[in-house]
Amino acid sequence: MDYKVQFKSYDAVANTTKVAIKQDFPYRVFEEILPTNRMTEDDAKLVEAVLNIVRMELDTSGAVVAIKKELDKSVEANKDAIAKIQALTKDNEEKANQIQKIKEVAEWNVLARVTDVENPLDPTVFKRGLELVDLGQSGKTYQPQEIFTIEDPNHIEAFGEGKRIMIQVNEPFTYQGETLDQLNSLYQNGKIGIWKWAKPKEDEPKQKEDEPKPAGELETQPVTTATPQPLI
């Protein structure tokens, strides 16, 4: 049997495709309505889909076998699709793990530099560093040594240090969107550390030995005293 598609049309309202197929010798025409939009499918698939319906109407047992074959093809196609999805998922997980490791390294660097009070950061570098750290996520439980940031809306920038403050967790802590004032009690209890940028203290200039001393700062010398001697 050599059937060809005579015509096809899609009904957008019903979401169906009407397909008519024709055979010249012997002359036969079948017309069926197929579900969904199948206008882009090749003619061979459309012919087979129409004939499956015709077989079911004429020979139920034969139609079942044909439909089973179509289903088997669909199952194989689904298996291939599932395998590809699983491969993509694994690849995405690996990339996510790599990104997480990079993020952890970046946060470790920020933590090490911000807490190095002997070598304070430039305020603009401090701001950039804290921008690399995520803002606290409400409802998330942070583990010891993890860090997050919050913003202090009341802080007025004076040196480009930004409004973010770094929170260092010392024991498991679930952040619930607390403000800086609310976190201060946890800081006092030692459960978290709060790190703000602070202007470094200026070193007092050392006075040279040959410089005159201010009034009231006279140099004193020890006074020699005589030791009493016994009388003869």
pLDDT digits (tens, 9 = 90+) for 74-111: 666 667 767 777 777 777 787 777 777 767 767 777 77
What mean pLDDT, rounded, does the chain reach?
Answer: 79
> Is 228 part of any domain?
no
Q: How many CB atoms lie within 10 A of CB 129?
A: 22
Residue 224 has pLDDT above 60, yes or no: no
> Is 48 part of any domain?
yes
Residue 164 has pLDDT above 60, yes or no: yes
Residue 177 has pLDDT above 80, yes or no: yes
> Is 214 part of any domain?
no
Same domain, 195 and 82: yes
> Is 21 part of any domain?
yes
Supply the pLDDT for residue 218.
45
Same domain, 194 and 123: yes
Report the alpha-carbon distance of residue 15 to residue 18 in Å, rounded.
Answer: 10
Residue 212 has pLDDT above 50, yes or no: yes
**What are the Cα distances from residue 163, in Å, to 35, 65, 159, 184, 197?**
59, 71, 11, 17, 9
Arithmetic mean of pLDDT, 135-163: 91
The parent domain of residue 125 ranges over 75-201
Same domain, 44 and 99: no
**How many distinct structural domains can be found in the chain?**
2
Same domain, 117 and 38: no
Same domain, 113 and 183: yes
Confidence band, pLDDT 50/70/90 cuts, at residue 143? very high
Arithmetic mean of pLDDT, 40-65: 79
> Is 40 part of any domain?
yes
Arithmetic mean of pLDDT, 125-144: 90
> Is 191 part of any domain?
yes
Residue 25 backbone phi and psi in degrees, to 5: -130, 115
Arithmetic mean of pLDDT, 114-141: 86
Q: Is 7 strand, coil or helix?
A: strand
Supply the pLDDT for residue 213.
54
> Is 225 part of any domain?
no
Contact 174, 139 (CB under 8 A): yes
Same domain, 115 and 30: no
Same domain, 85 and 48: no
Supply the pLDDT for residue 59.
64
Same domain, 47 and 160: no
Confidence band, pLDDT 50/70/90 cuts, at residue 169? very high
Same domain, 147 and 195: yes
Arithmetic mean of pLDDT, 5-22: 92
Same domain, 91 and 144: yes
> Is 213 part of any domain?
no
Dihedral (CA of 109, 115, 117, 122) sign: positive
Same domain, 53 and 107: no
- Residue (of 186, 168, 170) closest to 178 by Cα position: 186
Supply the pLDDT for residue 208.
54
Same domain, 54 and 87: no
